[in-house]
A and B are shown apart, each in its own frame.
Chain A
Amino acid sequence: EPEVTQTPSHQVTQMGQEVILRCVPISNHLYFYWYRQILGQKVEFLVSFYNNEISEKSEIFDDQFSVERPDGSNFTLKIRSTKLEDSAMYFCASSGAGVDDEKLFFGSGTQLSVL
């Protein structure tokens, strides 16, 4: 089965630093998402992206966050100035436009630790 890949698997950063989390969605997918899971809490929706623009974002996705699809294959999440509370597992997901178009394929996640 095709996979969504995420790099790095673990990222440690200092508070206030910028981080970029990288994702390679499944190649023929059209919709891209970022979710996060703070330890012990629910998986939360951050943002969805379609046709090179944000289609929906949650209240968590404030001005510190941005997403980009720089080259037609990668899909990145940037946190401009990390805070302690940004520590979480960040999941990228993608979905297509066919019969299973509402099936999200998730990556393995990037564990972000902000110190």
Chain B
Amino acid sequence: AQSVSQHNHHVILSEAASLELGCNYSYGGTVNLFWYVQYPGQHLQLLLKYFSGDPLVKGIKGFEAEFIKSKFSFNLRKPSVQWSDTAEYFCAVSSSGGYNKLIFGAGTRLAVHP
């Protein structure tokens, strides 16, 4: 069965610090990978996705993620965080092709202090 593991449940950073959130998945086949963000009081929004091609994916708001197939990882990065990045971040995986359910990780709460 597919599963997603996010290593950090809570992360606290100061503004301008660099961010890396870990995500590992378990699935034997070809997958699509996603990072979603949920700002306080708002709905889930897609940050970025990987289907195929360049394993370094750039998303909105300066985020990027790197797919490392050999490590089953899809870590999210941002070189310099802002207070407005305070949110919960969810890694998700779906099996490739057609419609498919997303399997989410437990989420990482990021708090950025000014």
The interface-forming segment of B22-30, B62-70, B78-86, B96-104 is B96-104
* A106 interface residue (CB < 8 Å to B): yes
- Chain A residue nearest to B49 in the complex (CB): A103
> B44 near A106 (CB under 8 angstroms)?
yes
Interface residues of A (CB under 8 A from B): 4, 31, 33, 35, 41-45, 48, 50, 55-56, 58, 91, 95, 101-104, 106-109
| Distance, CA A95 to CA B49, complexed state (A) | 14
> A43 near B99 (CB under 8 angstroms)?
no
Identify whether the interface residues of A are mostly helix, strand, loop, or mixed: strand
The residue in B51, B102, B104 that gathers the most chain A C-beta atoms within 10 A of its C-beta is: B102
What are 28 residue pairs bridging A and B, where the CB atoms are less than 8 Å apart in the complex? A35-B102, A35-B104, A41-B106, A42-B104, A42-B105, A42-B107, A43-B44, A43-B102, A43-B104, A44-B104, A45-B101, A45-B102, A48-B99, A50-B99, A56-B101, A58-B101, A91-B43, A91-B44, A102-B32, A102-B49, A102-B100, A103-B46, A103-B49, A104-B46, A104-B102, A106-B43, A106-B44, A107-B43
| Distance, CA A31 to CA B97, complexed state (A) | 13
> A102 near B94 (CB under 8 angstroms)?
yes
Question: Which chain B residues border A50 with CB–CB below 8 Å?
Answer: 99
- Chain B residue nearest to A1 in the complex (CB): B45
* Chain A min CB distance to B11 (Å): 17
| Distance, CA A107 to CA B101, complexed state (A) | 16
| Distance, CA A50 to CA B100, complexed state (A) | 11
* Chain B min CB distance to A77 (Å): 15
* Chain B min CB distance to A10 (Å): 12
| Distance, CA A103 to CA B60, complexed state (A) | 14
Known: A48-B99, A102-B94, A109-B43. A42 touches B49 (CB 8 A): no
Contacts A91-B44, A109-B43 supplied; 6 other A-B pairs, CB < 8 Å: A43-B102, A44-B104, A56-B101, A102-B51, A103-B46, A104-B46
- Chain B residue nearest to A4 in the complex (CB): B43
Interface residues of B in 27-43 (CB under 8 A from A): 32, 36, 42-43
